[in-house]
Amino acid sequence: MVSKKSFTGSVVISGASSGIGEACAIYLDKLGYQVFAGVRSDADGEALKCKTSERLTPIFLDVTNEVSIIAAANRIKATLDSTGLTGLVNNAGIVIAGPLEFLPVADLREQFEINVIGQIAVTQAFLPLLRESQGRIINMSSDNGKVSIPFLGSYCASKFALEALTDALRIELQPWGIAVCIIEPGSVTTPIWKKSISKADNIWNNLPPEARSLYSVFVDSAHKKANELSNNGFPAEVVAKAVAHALTTKRPKIRYVVGLDAKINIWLAKILPDWILDKLIAHYLGIAKNS
């Protein structure tokens, strides 16, 4: 539980235009933080400001663009003077879906540019400010950072990579008392589902006929599951509360598994032999062996 007292630190959140990032921005603003909300358009910044206090400052931040990252860090440094930064929430992310046999490599690269490389680039830029105040880093992973599933291999790989980077970073930053936490939510109701389904449709429609004849039955079935899950997620505010806990508590947890679905999925992946887990996932997604 996060106490109701007011907090006075400052936090940068990437990908605050919608979903979990937006929920974090609103929640942390309510707790009293000075929130620097990473957005990629003025309209998104204005829309967010309408839902928060005057304190919240939208900041242009494209995690794949070095110039934008450095400009954001410099602007925030100038605003904070010498007080340092209390927290960095690396939340921005996208989902690329499709069968790995045919997934265009450019899409795989985009997935990693945003979900992996971008997170470290932003972290590097803000670490000097975090060091000044023993701030904390909170990385947004997923239960898919622990359990990989078909047709989401690209996304899952990006979150597995983020997990590995976070584990290393956490120990590297111990000498300075900079805590590094990772959040592993299950299915959350946010615009990411609609965006990823439309992106997946676009990729699918441009694949060669061979890909369709081999995979269409399975992809249709996975598509239906994604639609089901998107309608049964939990609210983004639940994740924002976990982020707030990681920022405010004296001893933050290393890992925050958020949602019953994530708890079950990660637990099953830990205890089951791989071949049983494979069968379970294939059955769940309606992928039967062809023979």
Ligand X SMILES: NC(=O)c1ccc[n+]([C@@H]2O[C@H](COP(=O)([O-])OP(=O)(O)OC[C@H]3O[C@@H](n4cnc5c(N)ncnc54)[C@H](OP(=O)(O)O)[C@@H]3O)[C@@H](O)[C@H]2O)c1
Using the rule CB under 6 A, give the single segment among 60-68, 124-132, 202-210, 219-227 that binds ligand X.
Answer: 60-68
- Is residue 154 near ligand X by the rule CB under 6 A? no
C-alpha to C-alpha distance for 11 and 33, rounded to whole angstroms: 7
CB of 222 to ligand X, least distance (A): 15
C-alpha to C-alpha distance for 75 and 209, rounded to whole angstroms: 49
9 or 15, CB closer to ligand X?
A: 15
Taking CB under 6 A as the criterion, the residue among 97, 103, 137, 140 binding ligand X is 140
Which residues, numbered 65-94, are part of the site for ligand X (CB under 6 A)? 91-94
DSSP 90-123: E-------S-TTT--HHHHHHHHIIIIIHHHHHH
Known catalytic residue at 256? no
- Is residue 119 near ligand X by the rule CB under 6 A? no
Q: Determine which one of 27, 33, 155, 215 is catalytic.
A: 155
188 or 219, CB closer to ligand X?
A: 188
Query: Which residues does 202 contact at the CB level (< 8 Å), separation at least 6?
Result: none
Phi and psi at residue 159, to the nearest 5°: -75, -35
- Is residue 62 near ligand X by the rule CB under 6 A? yes
**Element holding 209 (H helix, E strand):** helix 209-231
193 or 218, CB closer to ligand X?
A: 193
Taking CB under 6 A as the criterion, the residue among 56, 63, 103, 152 binding ligand X is 63
Expressed in angstroms, the distance from the first to the final Cα of the chain is 52
- Is residue 206 near ligand X by the rule CB under 6 A? no
Query: Which residues does 155 contact at the CB level (< 8 Å), separation at least 6?
Result: 95, 96, 97, 111, 115, 142, 144, 196
Q: Is 268 helix (H, G, I), strand (E, B) or coil?
A: helix
- Is residue 19 near ligand X by the rule CB under 6 A? yes
Assigned token pair, 111? 């997935």
Taking CB under 6 A as the criterion, the residue among 10, 17, 52, 166 binding ligand X is 17
Taking CB under 6 A as the criterion, the residue among 64, 79, 202, 232 binding ligand X is 64
Taking CB under 6 A as the criterion, the residue among 138, 188, 211, 226 binding ligand X is 188
Phi and psi at residue 91, to the nearest 5°: -115, -25
Residues noted as catalytic = 155
Q: Which residues bind ligand X (CB under 6 A)?
A: 14-21, 38, 40, 61-64, 91-94, 114, 140, 142, 185, 187-188, 190-192, 195, 233
